[in-house]
Amino acid sequence: MNDNTTMNLRTFLTLEQLKRDFSWQSVMAGLVAVIVGYAGPTVLVFQVAESAHLSNAQIISWLWAYSIAAGLTTIVASLWYRMPLITAWSTPGIAFLMTAMVGVPLSEAIGAFVLSNVLVTLIGAFGLLQKLVRWIPLPVASALNGGILVAFALGVISSLQQQPLLVGGMILAFFLVRRFSPRWAVAAVLAAGTALCLLLDQLDLAALSVSMASPVLTLPTFTWHATINIAIPLTVLVLTGQYLPGFAVLKTAGYEPPVDKVVTLCGTGSILVAPFGCHNINPSSMIAAIVAGPEAHPDKTRRYVAAVCAGVIYLVFGTFASTFVSLFASLPREAVAALAGLALLSAIASSFDAAFANSKGSLAPLVVFVIAASGITVLGVGAAFWAIVSGIVVCHVLERKAR
């Protein structure tokens, strides 16, 4: 039997396995996962776009690149390892970019995206993830995440002052739905915000359209400024804030993911789509439980199909990314800011819990949080980098004897 025949036979067996394992329950789980994954982080892109002065075409390209990369890596990883390995973009990374990309040309930011993912790929290829985690403990990484995200929560308050009826209704919808179904809370905020905008005549219906996405290629340029201010913090955020929690969710569900191989796959996929605007693709920690839990399928060995279905839906969403851009463009600025802040409340709470509940008297998490939240710039270097450096110094040098 020649190599081509063997390859075709493997493909045929994979398709047969998929047919046996397929269920509509898995399809619904995959659909829910993608909707939940889109509802919150997507709106953050518009916050970044506003601060970085990106065009609609560049926003569409970013969403297209994210969706296509997440779809393909999810399908490949889930089929190859027969487990629900669903990927997504780095939510802390998007939040960080809202301030990090201010005044930075897009080509330089994309160069930083490429460098960040080259570092991630090398860390996966050489099995360095666990060694890196020893240098950046979970409380320090969580404090960095919380310091970056807290500005979005404060944005909800300022939006409430400007649009009390609209934003107040969105907040009410969030907490009411969250009481019964936390995973649908953010989607409910989007629905409530859209409905209230219609009632208050604040929805720009002329901006709504259905069309296919056209990716925009931007060649990267590499600078030390973008490397220090964007690439290094992005790498720390994605490894500690996304990869580790994502793998933890899978292990809790009873799987043993091939950590280094998945890190390498996601890093490589992210390098390929970075010139189209996407920063980091990584195993999801937010929606992994949906496709890895019993609601995807009672049989644990068949839940990978839910992730594969999610991957296919990702590809469809990416194809029509311009439709999502037109939806968010039709909403008033206060509604978008409120949606972003409410979508991140759970992540902020989790970051605070991980940073301070088990800090054992260490001041390193507090130092990191204060610096990251301050938004300071010293010697042209942003707050995220100084927060990382300060956390490592306090943890490993100043408090070493105390520990």
Would you state the pLDDT for residue 332?
84
Would you state the pLDDT for residue 68?
94
Q: How far is CA 160 from the centre of its chain?
A: 26
Tell whether 9 is covered by a domain.
no
Tell whether 364 is covered by a domain.
no
Would you state the pLDDT for residue 316?
92
What is the torsion angle, in degrees rounded to the nearest 10, for the CA atoms of residue 33, residue 35, residue 37 and residue 43?
Answer: 180
Tell whether 356 is covered by a domain.
no
Tell whether 363 is covered by a domain.
no
Joined tokens for residue 377: 């710039």
Query: Of 35, 36, 63, which is closest to residue 49 (Cα–Cα)?
Result: 63
Tell whether 67 is covered by a domain.
yes
Query: What is the tally of structural domains in the chain?
Result: 1
CA distance 323 to 317: 9
| Residue pLDDT tens, the chain, 403 long | 444 444 444 444 467 777 777 777 788 888 878 877 776 677 778 888 888 888 889 989 999 999 999 999 999 999 999 899 999 888 888 888 988 898 899 999 999 999 999 999 999 999 888 777 777 777 888 888 888 788 888 888 988 998 999 999 999 999 999 888 887 787 788 888 889 988 888 877 776 777 788 899 999 999 999 999 999 999 988 888 788 888 877 887 788 889 899 999 999 999 999 999 999 999 987 778 778 877 777 888 888 888 999 999 999 988 988 887 777 777 788 887 888 788 778 878 888 888 888 777 788 889 989 998 887 877 667 787 888 888 888 887 877 755 5
Can you give the residue range of the structural domain that contains 319? 20-348
Q: Report pLDDT digits (tens) over 147-173.
A: 878 888 888 898 899 899 999 999 999
Would you state the pLDDT for residue 7?
41
Question: Using only C-alpha atoms, what is the Rg of the chain?
Answer: 21
What is the torsion angle, in degrees rounded to the nearest 10, for the CA atoms of residue 171, residue 373, residue 275 and residue 315?
Answer: -30
Annotate 377-401 with b (16+ C-beta within 10 A) or e (fewer): eeeebbbbbbbbebbbebbbeeeee
Tell whether 10 is covered by a domain.
no
Tell whether 248 is covered by a domain.
yes
Tell whether 361 is covered by a domain.
no
Would you state the pLDDT for residue 105?
93
Would you state the pLDDT for residue 40?
64
The three state secondary structure string of the chain is CCHHHHHHHHHHHHHHHHHHHCCHHHHHHHHHHHHHHHHCHHHHHHHHHHHHCCCHHHHHHHHHHHHHHHHHHHHHHHHHHCCCCCEEECHHHHHHHHHHCCCCCHHHHHHHHHHHHHHHHHHHHCCCHHHHHHHCCHHHHHHHHHHHHHHHHHHHHHHHHHCHHHHHHHHHHHHHHHHHCHHHHHHHHHHHHHHHHHHCCCCCHHHCCCCCCCCCCCCCCCCHHHHHHHHHHHHHHHHHHHHHHHHHHHHHCCCCCCHHHHHHHHHHHHHHHHHHCCCCEEECCCCHHHHHCCCCCCCHHHCHHHHHHHHHHHHHHHHCHHHHHHHHHCCCHHHHHHHHHHHCHHHHHHHHHHHHCCCCCCCHHHHHHHHHHHCCCECCECHHHHHHHHHHHHHHHHCCCCC
CA distance 284 to 91: 9
Beta bridge partners of 88: 282
CA distance 158 to 164: 10
